[in-house]
Amino acid sequence: MTRMNLAGRLRRVRDLLEEPLLDLACRILMGAGGKRTGRRPFGAEELKLLVRSLAAQNLFGIGGKMVPAFEREFALAYGVPYAVGSTSGTAAIHLAVGALDLNPGDEVITSPITDLGTIIPILYQGGIPVFADIDGTYTLDPADVERKITSDTRAIIAVHLFGNACDMEALTDIARRHRVALIEDAAQAHMTRYRERLLGTIGDFGCFSFQQSKPMTTGDGGMTVTADEAAYQRMSLFVDKGYARKGWGPRAYLFHAPNYRMTELVGAVGRAQLRKVSGVVRQRARLGAQMTALVERIPGLRPAPVTPGAEHTYWMYPVWVEAGDVGRMGEALARERIPVLPGYIGKPIYLCSESLAAKKTYGDSHWPFSLRPDRAYEYAPGLCPRAEETLEHLLCIAWDESWTPRDVERVARALEGAGRTLAPVALTVPRLGQLEAVRPVPASGDGGLRHRLRIGVVGCGQVGRWHLDAYRVLPTVKLVACTDVDAARAAECAQRAGARPYTSHRAMLAGERLDGVSLCTVPATHHEIALDLLDAGVPVLCEKPLAVSLEEARAMAARADARGVLLVPAFKFRFHEEVGRARELLTRGVLGEILAFRVMFGGPANVRGTWYVRRSLSGGGVIMDIGPHAVDLIRFLLGEIEDVRAEVILPEGWEVEPTARLAVRLVGGATGVVDLSWTVPVPSPAYLEIYGDRGALLLDRQGLSYRLAPWAEWKRLPNTSTAEQAFARQLAHFADGLTGRGERVLGASDGVRAQALIEAAYASLVSGSAVAPPAPHVAV
């Protein structure tokens, strides 16, 4: 054998052995020492490609092997033509914003709940971040995005928070109609499906972060994808100082741009990670779905919302804590070594950064805000109320694909335990604290109201006085008029409220400029007074019953509709804490199929000799008086009513029934009994009982009790606010309606529907059989 032959053979043996030896060595090395438990994103695959990069004696990405291959493979995996690698998620977004070539002062709309990495690129490019509020998915509310669009808007950055998609159908439509670019910040949503597509590939640009905590990671790194060739060309230059390396002579920098070049080391790790990411996110999604099923059964907690049409891939698992301090709950979980972030970023991003809150950008210049002295860009509390409230309630669990289903069970158990030990404070219905912070603005949104809401109370009996006392604690309200046919009563109430007395609503209308009125007169007068008020453009909160007949109720709702003026029935139970909690549990389906329910609103109340028993004033007996509350509660918690049959006890000499029982059947088939009485005591401490095949709920004025399958012990959620506070919440809801703020919980149609059921109940007394409620609307 010649020397040459021997060397050649040895080379061949080395070539043959190199791959298996490298494999073996990498596996041994990655298995040796280091972190053995928990999340271990890196393995032999990464090390092998790292060795190859180093062995190539070049770590510079441009013209290298790993970075171009990573970009090609990433684009292929996402099904898009182009991808550009960079040094971080922030850089990836900067590439997209850079490709738009903003003019200083252009506006970019984005989400208030995100990492500062979404915002920095806007400011660096001279753009002005504009924040739209979120909706129940914790991502951008498309309606608010559209409201925030101006002639200066150039782009929307949609943040797919925690791995949950924005409503991309709506946002794509808005972006197209207003001709603005749509950038997807998919830093937290890798390989996440949305209506047959992948997040990041729906808008004009998709931006990904490979920071250590992300589903695929290179420690730090980023990628921007696009289908637009021109944008791709610009991003390829933008990542490299604008340097046109080919075709422009020895040195040509075509525009102002940073250096965000990815190195071969990052490209190598990225390529290995890309092969794993689908498996990682699918496992995170599986564990997340298990968590949702567990959290749904824990009273006081809400699981992560999932946007319709999307899968959630849980970069974090956000739990909404109804009541209690999420900070203390986080501490309790940390003691059990469960990694959590109470409140995620704590406050909306516009309050976290001095470059927004104090506009401290470049020296003392306040640039680019200084370019627009005509526009007041204020980054202050109240800018996105829903986001601000959401962050107070969220407890974010750092999700981990290395967990097993048993780990998830342990986390859920710890959550339940931590929740039990903390005092509940928050409610699902509008809170007073929240409302106090609200500055009234007219629904037209053209500036702030200079005055507090000017409110009148018509009818100064017991109920009118409740309204009056509750308005007095609302800082947004000024009571200006108290009206009663009894002049002495009107004067007494007016003095108490610091308002002017009137003896007729017409005199009040002539004498006052009103923003709203509580109508608390006897029911037979509601129709006439409400029509006058609505005709004068004054919104009405009308005590129950809305009217004494369906025809009148329909006419009132139609007038409110025609005049575009608010008419709200006073169904106060919707604002009770225990009712809000019950609705929470019922919408999550924790009781399973609803089988039966029972409502008990009973006296005795001393109504003899009062207007209550005079049909010409009251319109009916206890069915007309308390029936609307019962019917509304059933509709609010359990759904629409199919039919109703009433039985009454009518003692000698009574004009109207003081005691009644309604048999109610729901559209879904469940049946229930409603006992109403001014004379007979309630046979149970609970006023509402609901029974399902997987649990039962009992509601009383002090709280809620529940028991779930396998029918272990009863649990109790006591109320933390009084009935007076619940009543005040109802009025605050009305006041919110006057300023165009807050969620609408009740409307005129609810009053009309309740009236239709009251009418059906009385009709059943005549027919002797169950009667379906007449259509709430007049047939045209």
Ligand X SMILES: Cc1ncc(COP(=O)(O)O)c(C=O)c1O
Candidate residues 85, 89, 112, 627; the one interacting with ligand X per rule CB under 6 A: 89
Does 313 bind ligand X (CB under 6 A)? Our answer is no
Q: How far apart are CA 458 and CA 484, in angstroms?
A: 6
Candidate residues 90, 201, 224, 677; the one interacting with ligand X per rule CB under 6 A: 90
Per CB under 6 A, which region of 20-28, 88-96, 237-245, 458-466 contacts ligand X?
88-96
Does 209 bind ligand X (CB under 6 A)? Our answer is yes
Does 118 bind ligand X (CB under 6 A)? Our answer is yes
- Cα dihedral 543, 549, 550, 555, rounded to 10, equals -70
* Torsion sign, CA atoms 480, 484, 485, 486: negative
Candidate residues 53, 86, 114, 764; the one interacting with ligand X per rule CB under 6 A: 114
Burial 197-219 (b: 16+ CB within 10 A, else e): ebbbbbbbbbbbbbbeebbbbbe
Per CB under 6 A, which region of 43-51, 109-117, 420-428, 603-611 contacts ligand X?
109-117
All residues at 6 or more sequence positions from 179 whose CB lies less than 8 Å from its CB, including other chains: none
Does 117 bind ligand X (CB under 6 A)? Our answer is yes
Residue 84 gets which letter from DSSP? E
Does 159 bind ligand X (CB under 6 A)? Our answer is yes
Candidate residues 86, 137, 164, 188; the one interacting with ligand X per rule CB under 6 A: 188
* Torsion sign, CA atoms 741, 744, 745, 749: positive
Does 211 bind ligand X (CB under 6 A)? Our answer is yes
Contact 642, 648 (CB under 8 A): no
Q: How far apart are CA 14 and CA 17, in angstroms?
A: 5
In the three-class reduction of DSSP (H, G, I as helix; E, B as strand; rest coil), residue 682 is classed as coil
Q: How far apart are CA 89 and CA 441, in angstroms?
A: 38
Q: Which two tokens stand for residue 219?
A: 């420690």
Rounded least distance, CB 89 to ligand X, Å: 2
Candidate residues 67, 140, 183, 187; the one interacting with ligand X per rule CB under 6 A: 187
Does 216 bind ligand X (CB under 6 A)? Our answer is no
Per CB under 6 A, which region of 16-24, 110-118, 230-238, 678-686 contacts ligand X?
110-118
Rounded least distance, CB 160 to ligand X, Å: 8
Does 225 bind ligand X (CB under 6 A)? Our answer is no
Query: If you search the block for the tokens 């009107």, which residue do you land on?
Result: 490
Nearest-5° Cα angle at 608, 604 to 610: 115
Q: Which helix (H) or strand (E) holds 643?
A: strand 641-649
Can you give the length of the chain in residues? 780
Rounded least distance, CB 94 to ligand X, Å: 9
All residues at 6 or more sequence positions from 154 whose CB lies less than 8 Å from its CB, including other chains: 100, 102, 106, 107, 108, 127, 180, 181
| Residue with smaller CB distance to ligand X, 266 or 460 | 266
- Determine the angle formed by the axes of helices 405-421 and 326-335, rounding to 10 degrees: 130
| Residue with smaller CB distance to ligand X, 89 or 215 | 89
Per CB under 6 A, which region of 185-193, 236-244, 298-306, 740-748 contacts ligand X?
185-193
Per CB under 6 A, which region of 31-39, 182-190, 349-357, 497-505 contacts ligand X?
182-190
Does 484 bind ligand X (CB under 6 A)? Our answer is no
Rounded least distance, CB 710 to ligand X, Å: 41
Per CB under 6 A, which region of 37-45, 85-93, 353-361, 380-388 contacts ligand X?
85-93
Q: How far apart are CA 591 and CA 594, in angstroms?
A: 7
Q: Which two tokens stand for residue 221?
A: 């790194």
Does 418 bind ligand X (CB under 6 A)? Our answer is no
Per CB under 6 A, which region of 113-121, 305-313, 324-332, 462-470 contacts ligand X?
113-121
Give Rg (Cα) of the chain: 32
Size of the site for ligand X (CB under 6 A): 14
Does 125 bind ligand X (CB under 6 A)? Our answer is no
| Residue with smaller CB distance to ligand X, 186 or 553 | 186
Per DSSP, the chain holds a count of helices (H) and strands (E) of 27, 27
> Count of CB atoms within 10 A of residue 562's CB?
10
Rounded least distance, CB 114 to ligand X, Å: 5
Candidate residues 45, 50, 84, 88; the one interacting with ligand X per rule CB under 6 A: 88
Rounded least distance, CB 316 to ligand X, Å: 9
Does 137 bind ligand X (CB under 6 A)? Our answer is no
Candidate residues 222, 300, 569, 751; the one interacting with ligand X per rule CB under 6 A: 222
What is the distance between the terminal CA atoms of the chain, rounded to a whole angstrom?
Answer: 106
- Chain contacts with ligand X (rule: CB under 6 A): 88-90, 114-115, 117-118, 159, 185, 187-188, 209, 211, 222
